[in-house]
Amino acid sequence: MNEDTQARTKSKEFSKLQQIFWPIYGYELKKFLPMSMLMFCILFVYAMVRNLKDTFIQHYAICGGTELMPILKLFFVMPAAFFAVILFTFFINKFGSTKTFYIMISLFVLFYTVFLFILLPNVNILHANEATVRHLQESLPDFLHYTIPCFTNWCYTLFYVVSETWSTIALSSLFWQFANRITKESEAKRFYALYSLISSIGVILSGGVLSAMSKAGGAEFERNVRILISLCILFAVTTMVIFYYINAVIVPDPKYCDPIQFRLPSKKMHKKDIDVFEGIKMLIKEPYIALMALLVLTYGISDNLLETVWKAQLRYAVPDPSSYAAMMGFQSIIVGFLTICITILSTYMLRKLSWKFCAGVTPITMLLLGLMFFGLVCYSNGGHQNLYGIPIDVASAWIGLVVVALVRSTKYSLFDATKNMAYRPLDVDTKTKGQAAVEIIAGRGGKSGAALVNVFLTNILAVGSKIFAHLYTIIPIFMLTVVGWIISVFRLSPRYHEKLSKQNTTNS
Backbone φ, ψ for residue 153 (5° rounding): -105, 50
Residues 445, 449, 451, 452, CA torsion sign? positive
**What mean pLDDT comes out for the span 297-319?**
92
Cβ-based neighbours of 73, under 8 Å, separated by 6 or more: 164, 304, 447, 448, 450, 451
Any domain includes 13:
no
Q: What is the mean pLDDT of the chain?
A: 85
The stretch 77-83 carries a mean pLDDT of: 85
**Helix, strand or coil, per DSSP, at residue 498:** helix
Question: What is residue 391's three-state secondary structure?
Answer: strand
Do 64 and 58 contact (CB within 8 A), yes or no? Answer: yes
Tens-place pLDDT, residues 435-461: 777 877 787 788 888 999 999 999 888
Domain-located, residue 151: yes
Instruction: Tell me whether residue 21 is in a domain.
Output: no
Mean pLDDT of 224-243: 95
Q: Determine, yes or no, domain membership for 4.
A: no
Give the span between the Cα atoms of 501 and 506, in whole angstroms.
9
Per-residue burial over 326-349, b = 16 or more CB atoms within 10 Å of its CB, e = otherwise: bbbbbbbbbbbbbbbebbbebbeb
- CB of 336 within 8 A of CB of 201? yes
248-304: pLDDT as tens digits: 988 887 777 765 555 544 444 344 444 556 667 777 778 898 999 999 999 999 999
Q: What is the pLDDT of residue 279?
A: 65
Report for 2-11, 79-88, 127-136: range of highest mean pLDDT: 127-136
pTM higher than the cut 0.85: no
Measure Cα distances from 309 to 37, 241, 384 in Å: 33, 39, 18
- pLDDT of residue 35 exceeding 60, the answer is yes
Give how many domains the chain has, as a whole number.
1
Inform me whether the pLDDT recorded for 244 exceeds 90.
Answer: yes
Q: Could you tell me if residue 350 is inside a domain?
A: yes
Alpha-carbon distance of 291 to 352, in angstroms, equals 24
Instruction: Identify the domain containing residue 129 by its residue range.
Output: 29-258+269-507
Q: What pLDDT is attached to residue 270?
A: 43
On whether residue 1 sits in a domain, the answer given is: no
The conformation of residue 146, written as its DSSP 8-state character, comes to T
Number of helices and strands in the chain (H, E): 23, 2
Distance CA 47, CA 455 (A): 25
CA–CA dist 255, 496 (Å, integer): 27
For 351-385, give the secondary structure using H, E and C.
HHCCHHHHHHHHHHHHHHHHHHHHHHHHHHHCCCC
Using a pLDDT cut of 70, give the percent of the chain over it.
90
Query: Worst-scoring range by mean pLDDT, 16-20, 57-61, 327-331?
Result: 16-20
Domain of residue 60, CATH code: 1.20.1250.20
Residue 171 belongs to some domain of the structure: yes
